[in-house]
Every structure is written in C-alpha cells, then in structure tokens.
Structure 1
Amino acid sequence: MRGPCVPGYTCTLCRKCLLVKTLASGFWGAALAWSFLCASGAAVAASAPPVFVLNSLEANISVIDPDTWQETSRIPTGKEPHHLYLTPDEKSLIVANALGDTLTFVDPRTAQVQRTVRGIVDPYHLRFTPDMKWLITAANRLNHVDFYRWDGKDPVLVQRVATGRTPSHLWVDSRSSTVYSTMQDSDELVAIDIATQAIKWRTHTGAMPADVYGSADDKLLFVGLTGSDGVEVFDVSGREPRSIKRIKTGNGAHAFRATGDRRHLFVSNRVANTISKIDMQTQEVVATYPAPGGPDCMEVSADGRWIYVSSRWARKLSVIDTVEKKVVRQVNVGKSPHGVWTLLHAPR
C-alpha cells in the first residue's frame, strides 16, 4: 500500500506523473497523458480499500480514502465501538459495539454496512480462533469472556466464562487451544482452555495490563502495561506462566501491532506519545517513533513502512513514516478514535 503523497516522497501515482510529463508534449500528447492518468487513477482507486477508524464517543466509523487521505464518510454503529476484526473469509469487518450490545458487519472493500447482529453482550474486544470455529469476546464492564460458535453466519453463544475484574484484550494461540485475556483492574493475565472453556491459570502482572500479543512459536506473551512504562514478557511454554522480563518502552504502554516479519512488534505508549518497536527475540526496543495525541490502536501498511495510529486525545489518525521516523500526515476524525483497520495490512 502506498504511503501519503507528500513532498519528498514518491508514490505510485507520482511515478505515473513522471510518464505523464514526458507524454504531454503538444495537444495529442496532453490528451493521451490525461487519459492515462485518469485510467490509472481509477485503477488505483479501485485497488485501494479504505482505512477505517472507530470513533468510540460518537458511535460511528470514519472511512478514509488512502489515496487522497480525506475522510469520505461516517458509518453509524452501536454505542461505543472500540475494536474491530476481520471475519475468516475476509468478506466482513466486524465492529464490536460495547455499550450497544451489537456487532456491525461492514464490507472492508466498499465500506457498505452489511448487517447488524444484536444480543452480543458487551463486546469490547474480540478474536477468532485460527481454526475458525469460535468467535470470542471480552465483556469489559461485565467481567466475563464469551464463546460464540461461528459457522460463517450468526454467532451462537455457547459458554460464558466469569473471569474477574475487567477483561480487556484477548489473544488466541496458533493451535486454537488457549485464549489469553488481560484483566485491567485486577492486574492479572488469565488463560482459558478453548476445548473445555474453563480457566487454566491466572497470574499477576504489572499495573493495568491492556493489549496482549503472542510470539509466532506460542512460547512468549507480551503484555502492555498501561499503568506503567513498558511491556511485561511471560513464558507460557510450561504448565505455569513465568514473568521473565520487563521491557521499558514509555509511559502508558497499551496496544500492539505486528510489523509483518514475525520478529518485531510495535507498541503504542499512550502517555509518552511514542511508538516503540520491539525485537521479540532479544526482547529489546530497537526503534522509537513520535506519535502525538495519545497513540492507541495501530495498523501497518502492507509494505511495513507506514504506521496508521489513532491519536486518541487529538481526534486524528496519524500517519508515521518508519524510515524517516516522523509523522507525515494527520487526518481529522471523530471523538476518541480507537480501533484502526485496513484490508491491505502487514501480516499479523
């Protein structure tokens, strides 16, 4: 996916403009160039799915054109949309409306609302199991994790697991055997066996754990400590979890997004107004980027160069160039922007 078209950067369209400039000599050359540019622009527009930003306090979604970097529309949702996730067939983007007790299904390519599923209690965060059998949601304000059987149509509630105070973010291992949930108000990490849908273990963490991310081999979990200044690393390869390291990243370490190489991980530091890049093998910070306005959820472009991050307190989507290590664009969105997604993203 191309980056923002700003001075000093060359995008696909800019390279085409060089050809247009060459062709545009005389009337017929100019006409040919204009036809080429229009056709190319149409092709580019057709191939670039939108960037979605959830506006939690406005109950809607900002739809952003990644070619013009303009907000093109707002999609109404239920109350307090916080997180979103793609269905396994990649035909629908599911928006979880926590206070609306609903899921909004949106076409990730056209931004058209497909349907609304009601009766999903307090869906704050959500994950599919890799085997595509289960949709799992965290009820943040009601203290439980729900297991919904998934057949590609409507989710059916099978089990509700009481977890303790304030389940926040979920992670499912690659074998679809365990789902992990952070407990932001009791400072815990909980593991739930997916086969039996019962809690296997719980362990204490640092202050206010938020997002959680697992290494490719399922041996390590990285937990963002929003009430502290870093990421706690747990070894979960044995019968009992072990806290093995604290990585100092910045105050308010919160959300994760993979860089796409299966080794590195971005974490947003909401209070420090930075994003850190972590090497999961060495468990060290290898790069830091400025991210103003309370960075929260992130998306990474398919080529790994651009970070799209919701600036929670500034009502903006910020675009960060990971090569130049600077913010190159900000797009106005709604109140309290949270989840960010686009179909053309780096591998998870």
Structure 2
Amino acid sequence: MRHAALPGMPDYDPEDLYAADRPNELSPVVKNDPSYVYVPNTESNTVSVIDPATYKVVRTVPVGDQPQHVVPSWDLKTLWVNNDQGNSLTPINPATGQFGTPVPVHDPYNLYFTPDGKSAVVMAESDKELVFRDPHTMAIQTVLHVPCEGVNHADFSPDGSYFIASCEFSGHLLKVDTAKHTLIGVIAMEHGAMPQDVKISPDGSVWYVADMQTSGVWTLNGDTFKITGFIPTGNGAHGLYVSRDSKSLYITNRGEGSISVLDFATGKLVAKWKIPGHASPDMGGVSADGKVLWLTGRYDAEVYAISTVDGHLIARIPVGEGPHGLCVYPEPGRYSLGHTGIFR
C-alpha cells in the first residue's frame, strides 16, 4: 500500500486502484443494506427502485425536476439524487430505502467526492462551474469557474492530487488540483469531439475518455496531461465501468445498443455484446458479485441487466421516461468518489 497525497485519504494499492472492489467485499458500513438498483428517470421526475433478485420495479418515487444521477456519498451512508433543473439533491438512506427532504443546490447535473472525503464536487453543467461543497450539508466551500461547456464527468488520480473532467459540449478536458480547487490545465480536443465518461486504469497508467461523437475511447496520460491514442468502440460511446476483477473495462455504445469489452492488460478490445432489438445503453454499474452489468436505456424507458460472463441479456425492465445514471447499491469498496459509483 502507498500513502496518498491528500491527508485523510485512505492508503491505496498503486498496482490496482480497485483492489477493494472485489466481489461481495462490502464495507461494514453497508453490509446489511438491502440490495436495490436506483434509477433516476429524467423526463418523469421519478426514481424507480428495482429489486435485483426479481428484476422487478418495487417502487417509483417522485423527486425534483430532471433527476440525472443517483450518487453514493464518500462515507457510503447516503445516496444523492441529482435533481438538475429542480436545483436540489434528494437524499436516500440506503439502509432503510427512505427518501429524505431535498437539499437546495443549484444545477447539480452530476456529483463527485474528493478522495479525502472533505468535499463534494457538484458538476454545475449549465453554470459552467465546479462547486466544492461540504459533503454532508452541501454548504459552498469554493466555486471554480471553468472555461468550457458541459462539464459533467470525472475521475481522480491514484494519489488523489488531481482529477480530470470532461466538457461534453465544447470538447475539452480539464485537470484540477484536488486540494487547492484550482485549474491546472485544459486540453482542447479535436474538432467534433464530445467527451463523456472518464475512468482511470487499475494501475493508474492510462486514463480512458468515452467520446459519443467520434464513437470510441481516447487514451490519456494523466500526469503529463496529453492524449496518447484512440480506440474505436461503437456508435455513441458513453459510459465506462470496471469489472470486479480489475481486468476489463465495459464501454457502453449508446448509439448502436452494444457494450464493448476492453482488456486492461493489452489495451485491446476483446468482445462486443449486442443488446437484442433497439437499445440505448447509457449509465449504470456492476452488481456486488460482479456477475451483472446494470445499464439504463436512455431513449427506451428501460433498464438492462447484462451477464458479464458472456454478455447475454438477462432482463429488460420497463421504467420511467429518460432513465439516466442508475446506481447499484450496495457495492464493494471502502469509499465512494461519486458519479453512479466509483469505489476504491
């Protein structure tokens, strides 16, 4: 294990950042929490709650306007529904399933947490801001104005010293100092790029950035902050998810209804799983046992449960309109960096 750059951040394994995410290795904080899949329906202003044992919706709960993501807190004790146009965060107690009173927060398109647990980072997409807030009360700590349009996804360096965020609408990548809350660098990507999800490899050597417009994944050296290559995956590359054994990266191709599988060891694509019929796989997460990849069908009002063994479709579950950043919970890991569940 190696000491982190941020005081308060847990030590980490430099050879595998996801070493704490092995199948069913749940933190004591969440080991007794009931297992559910929480689905924010952006156009219906609801959250569908799915029982993963039966693949059935067991509850549909009204929330604020345009819920975009359901995000686990750093301490694993709260799930936050990002009501983007409702300008609020609705807390869920995952131990009881109870939805709490919304907390006023402006433009919370997405939400992350610094690896030391000291700040929540609201991706205020329309406001062109990264807003650092108290992780419990959501009181503002710092506002960082960003020189790009559509800032929305991110991931953190192995030692926690910086994070890299994507700006969807202007085709930029940002590098931000985690402790100082300052901008370190900006990359203007090639014309027409539309960067989406961001994910770092288990050994920290390669960053992957899904690009919905160029239909593939860019590779990046985070320390030098330089793009190193491009891997075509499929139409509308969007979400990035790490397998429970840290060997594979699942890449959702929203425009063609498929999932590409990348082998971290070789950096090569090893499989492509096509969802039968029309499908629009978007955001999601991996089940606690690692056997199921859960994804929303953004334009089809449904959720897909996909086998990570061979890619076959296990279930197709009707939900509300515009399902987006679903959260599978609980999941293995010591703490959460946010989004739909980045655990380390």
Give the C-alpha shift of residue 218 in structure 1.
3.2
Change (3 A) 1:51 1:303: same
Structure 1 partner of 2:250: 266
Choose the corresponding residue for 2:264, options 272, 275, 280. Answer: 280
The answer to whether residue 47 in structure 2 is matched with residue 61 in structure 1 is: yes
Give the C-alpha shift of residue 204 in structure 1.
2.4
Q: Give distance in 2, aligned partners of 1:246 and 1:261.
A: 24
Q: Give distance in 2, aligned partners of 1:77 and 1:340.
A: 14
The answer to whether residue 113 in structure 2 is matched with residue 128 in structure 1 is: yes
Structure 1 partner of 2:143: 160
Contact conserved, 1:48 with 1:66, CA < 8 A, in 2?
A: no
- 1:226-245 superposed matches below 5 A: 226-238=212-224, 241-245=225-229
The answer to whether residue 187 in structure 2 is matched with residue 203 in structure 1 is: yes
Question: Which aligned segments of 4 or more residues in structure 1 are displaced greater than 6 angstroms?
Answer: none
Contact conserved, 2:39 with 2:70, CA < 8 A, in 1?
A: no
Larger radius of gyration between Structure 1 and Structure 2: 1
Contact conserved, 1:301 with 1:346, CA < 8 A, in 2?
A: no
Q: Which runs of 5+ in 1 are unaligned?
A: 1-45
Q: Give distance in 2, aligned partners of 1:169 and 1:67.
A: 30
Question: What do residues 310-334 of structure 1 show as CA deviations (whole Å, max 9, x unaligned)?
Answer: 0111111111112232112111100
Contact conserved, 1:205 with 1:232, CA < 8 A, in 2?
A: no
Q: Quick one: which amino acid aligns to residue 158 of structure 2?
A: S
Q: Give distance in 1, aligned partners of 2:33 and 2:65.
A: 31
Choose the corresponding residue for 2:274, options 275, 290, 294. Answer: 290
Give the C-alpha shift of residue 48 in structure 1.
4.4
Give the C-alpha shift of residue 270 in structure 1.
0.5
Q: Quick one: which amino acid aligns to residue 122 of structure 1?
A: D
Secondary structure of 2:170's aligned partner: coil
Q: Give distance in 1, aligned partners of 2:70 and 2:156.
A: 15
Q: Give distance in 2, aligned partners of 1:170 and 1:322.
A: 24
Question: What's the % identity of the aligned pairs?
Answer: 29
Structure 2 partner of 1:97: 83
Which one has a larger percent helix, Structure 1 or Structure 2? Answer: 1
- TM-score by structure 1 length? 0.81
Name the count of aligned residue pairs: 298
Give the C-alpha shift of residue 281 in structure 1.
3.2
Q: Quick one: which amino acid aligns to residue 279 of structure 1?
A: D
Q: Which runs of 5+ in 2 are unaligned?
A: 1-31, 334-342
Q: Which has the higher contact order (CA 8 A, sep 6+)?
A: 2
Secondary structure of 2:325's aligned partner: strand
Change (3 A) 1:53 1:268: same
Secondary structure of 1:338's aligned partner: coil
Choose the corresponding residue for 1:306, options 292, 295, 301. Answer: 292
Give the C-alpha shift of residue 112 in structure 1.
1.0
Secondary structure of 2:326's aligned partner: strand
Task: State the superposition RMSD in angstroms.
Answer: 1.7
Q: Quick one: which amino acid aligns to residue 134 of structure 1?
A: S
Question: What do residues 136-156 of structure 1 show as CA deviations (whole Å, max 9, x unaligned)?
Answer: 011111211111133xx3022
